[in-house]
Chain A
Amino acid sequence: MNKSIFKRRLSKFGCYAVAVILIIFFLLPIYYVFSMSLMHDVDTFAYPPKFIFSPTFDNYVKIFNDGVLNKNLINSVIISTACVLMGLLVGTPASYALSRLRSKAVPGLMFFILVVRLIPPMSMLLPIFSMYVKMNLIDTRVGLIVLDLTFVLPLNVWMQKTFFDGVPREMEEAAEIDGASTLQTMILVVIPLIAQAIVATAIFSWIQAWNEYLFSLVITRMNAKTIIMAVNNYISFDEMHWGELAASAVVICLPVLVFSIFVRKYLISGMTAGGVKE
């Protein structure tokens, strides 16, 4: 008896240890950037590395001073939020339908959606640009949102359909006997069961829209520019502004973290009123 309890405790300790090591690995470079953002360039490259230094907020002041960052930040937040919402609104019903429909066309449709994400973005640049010029969508947030949806939707649909597939139909049949419509069934019965997947989908959608660079570069001019463009400007090969780059990198990560915490707290509790484990 003692042996197996000991074994269990050991494996639990081992589990925690592994998790801790991996988390440190993931977070160390983040800490590195964070400390870089608080240093002057001359300290950044000091060797042996300076673990103790006097922090300065100069870099943050610099990046907010040119005013461009603020507008870009707002644009990015709007675009990412819209992408998440639209992605869920449009993608979730579609994945549910694809999961529940017994049609030979389903695999084909699934693949069509996937193909959209498989097209190399570079190859799409010029056709999309010309199309947008004609449709007057250049430099508009709407234009960018629609574009971002093309990579957000495939992941949404494929992920959610897989999870919908895993939900047995007994629940829905019961609801239908009670007189619920298809839509009601989906929203009230099935979705709460795959809460985790929806949350993950929302987070991934936000991140993808947030980090999208190629299309933002070409499609936007002054008005709809996103913050990732501003960060890239600090990466120019001609001049290295490490401190400012680090500061803008930190700034760019914060909204996403806030969003994911928010989504976890509220979306899950909202969806799992029926009592589903985390």
Chain B
Amino acid sequence: MKLSRIIALALIACMLFTLTAFADDGKPYAGTTIHVVLNTHNYYNTADTFIPEFEEATGITVVMEHVERVSLATKQEMELGSHTGAYDVMLIDGSKVVRYDQAGWVEPLNDYIANDPDFDYSDYIDAYADLLKVEDRINGIPCVGETTVLFYRKDLFEQAGITEVPKTWAEVEAAAEKLSAIEGVAPLGLRARAGEGLNVYVWASFLWAFGGRYIDENGNPVLDSPEAIAATQKFADLINKYGPVGGGDMTHSDLVPYFQQGKLAMYYDASVWNSNFKDTAQSIPEVLENWAAAPAPMGEDGKGAAAVAAHSLMISKDSKNKDAAWEFIKWYSGKELQTKVALQTETFGAIVHKSIMADEAFEKVFGGHGWIEAVEESLTHSRPDYRYTENPDWAWIGDRIGKAVQDTIIGVGTAEENMKTMNEDLREFLEENGYIK
């Protein structure tokens, strides 16, 4: 009798012990606090409302801050440069990844990905994920992604007698010519204001379409090539001939409202503006009904590229809570949360997962208008070196290129003069900073 009692007690003890072990499994990070700082975006506004669920499930406390993107860059560099370790998860993107990598500020995620069986890295859209790779190090996980597409107005195309959606820049120009007959509407909108994230973001499509590139095999800048000059000339011509009045200084913050108000027939820019054009609080009825998207136009002979960019999440090397940070990154950029946010807001479509793109529910909300197809097609033409972001000093370089482009647009110097001077300045800069001998 006594023995069986002992055995029974022992069994109960074992069960209780294993039960407590399972109970612990749910909250391995209980008591950890992580600090996150990111830019501002519609996605975060909704995603953040689900943070309490995440905290409940993992035991991690999340302190979330949002700062406007341009100012955020400075703030991050101050913190990272001084190695304060105040933030665990921060923003990174293609234009900063090499810079941060070389400065030793990022924690590579290869091991985290490899050791985590639940994490489906392959579901992330390759074009976005590749932006964050430096040599074999994966420095970030994409969260909000975009490419470039050609937005246009179906009704205006009909009115101008355009039956085929333009696929090349030459066809775009022809369409613009037809559209210029319509009063009160500018045929084509393109960013003109100088800046590595402003006009250069769109101008680079022309560079690739015309067969130009940034540097040659030895790292020398070749932006004074006939192809680059032709690309800039065409870019400037299109803006001056078919752009809105005063367009020489405009960028997306001016052009998007124009399209929303029905003043643009075609607009080549980031794919994320679809959320503006579907929003009744932002766009007039004609636009709401008739906007459409086409893949990024190419050049002749299949040359050309579409832009690609993604706000991504990184773990700072100085972080003291890297494992908890990894948990957060997985969840915040994860498929479940993104689907929830997309379907709830009906305006956030900049998801980064292949499976969501194919999801029926997603297609119901974001389909129509050709947008999903346009994005998919544009992504196949995207390339990580779309801008010369592999250079840590890309910000300076890109701004200098942007200035040459804008000068051409407003008529300060010809395309040839501006590109040649700019190329010289680039060569000097690269030499001075040790990028070429």
Contacts and interface: CB of A to CB of B under 8 A. Distances in A.
Interface of A: 40-42, 44-47, 58, 66, 125-126, 129-130, 133, 138, 217-218, 221-222, 229, 232-233, 235-240
B316 interface: no
Given A47-B261, A232-B68, A41 B281 contact: yes
24 contacts: A41-B282, A42-B261, A42-B280, A45-B257, A58-B281, A66-B45, A125-B74, A126-B81, A138-B84, A217-B71, A217-B75, A218-B74, A222-B35, A222-B63, A229-B67, A232-B71, A233-B40, A236-B69, A237-B69, A237-B197, A238-B39, A238-B41, A238-B69, A239-B42
B82 A233 contact: no
Interface of B: 35, 39-42, 45, 63, 65-71, 74-75, 78, 81-82, 84, 86, 197, 251-253, 256-258, 260-261, 279-284
Contacts of B280: 42
B281 A42 contact: yes
Given A233-B66, A233-B68, A42 B260 contact: yes
A247 to B, nearest CB: 14
Contacts of B279: 41
A235 B281 CA distance: 18
B86 to A, nearest CB: 6
A232 B39 CA distance: 12
Contact of B74 (A44, A217, A222, A233): A217
B281 A237 contact: no
Contacts of B281: 40-42, 58
A42 B71 contact: no
Nearest to A65: B45
Nearest to B275: A239
Nearest to B71: A217
A214 to B, nearest CB: 9
Contact of A218 (B70, B78, B260): B78
B84 A133 contact: yes
Contacts of A46: 261
Contact of B284 (A42, A217, A235): A42
Contacts of B45: 66
Given A42-B282, A217-B74, A233-B67, A239 B257 contact: no
A229 B68 CA distance: 9
Contacts of A41: 257, 260, 279, 281-282
A40 B256 CA distance: 15
Contacts of A239: 40-42
Nearest to A238: B69
A237 B252 contact: yes
A229 B39 CA distance: 12
Task: Count chain A CB atoms within 10 A of each CB in B41, B70, B280, B282 and give the residue with the most.
Answer: B282
Given A42-B284, A233-B67, A237-B252, A125 B78 contact: yes
A45 B261 contact: yes
Contacts of A222: 35, 63, 65
Contacts of B284: 42
A177 B86 CA distance: 60
B143 to A, nearest CB: 14
Contacts of A218: 74-75, 78
Nearest to B68: A236
Interface centre among A45, A217, A235 (most CB of B within 10 A): A45
B264 to A, nearest CB: 12
Contacts of A58: 281
Contact of A236 (B40, B75, B78, B257): B40
B82 A130 contact: yes
Contacts of B257: 41, 44-45, 240
Contacts of B78: 125-126, 129, 218
A232 B71 CA distance: 9
Contact of B253 (A42, A130, A217, A240): A240
Given A40-B282, A42-B281, A240-B257, A221 B65 contact: yes
B82 A129 contact: yes
B194 to A, nearest CB: 13
Contacts of B86: 138, 221
Contacts of A66: 45
Given A41-B282, A46-B261, A229-B67, A238 B40 contact: yes
Contacts of B81: 126
A240 B256 contact: yes
A237 B74 contact: no
A240 B260 CA distance: 12
Contacts of A129: 78, 82
Nearest to A232: B68
Contacts of A238: 39-41, 69
A101 B400 CA distance: 54
Closest 7 CB pairs of A and B: A236-B68, A40-B281, A41-B282, A45-B257, A45-B261, A233-B68, A233-B40
A70 B14 CA distance: 52
Most buried by B among A130, A221, A235: A221
Nearest to A58: B281
Contacts of A237: 69-70, 197, 251-253
A80 to B, nearest CB: 21
A263 B256 CA distance: 44
Given A42-B261, A222-B63, 17 more contacts: A41-B260, A41-B281, A42-B283, A125-B78, A126-B81, A129-B82, A130-B82, A133-B82, A221-B35, A222-B65, A232-B71, A233-B68, A237-B197, A237-B253, A239-B41, A239-B42, A240-B256
Contacts of A42: 260-261, 280-284
Nearest to B253: A240
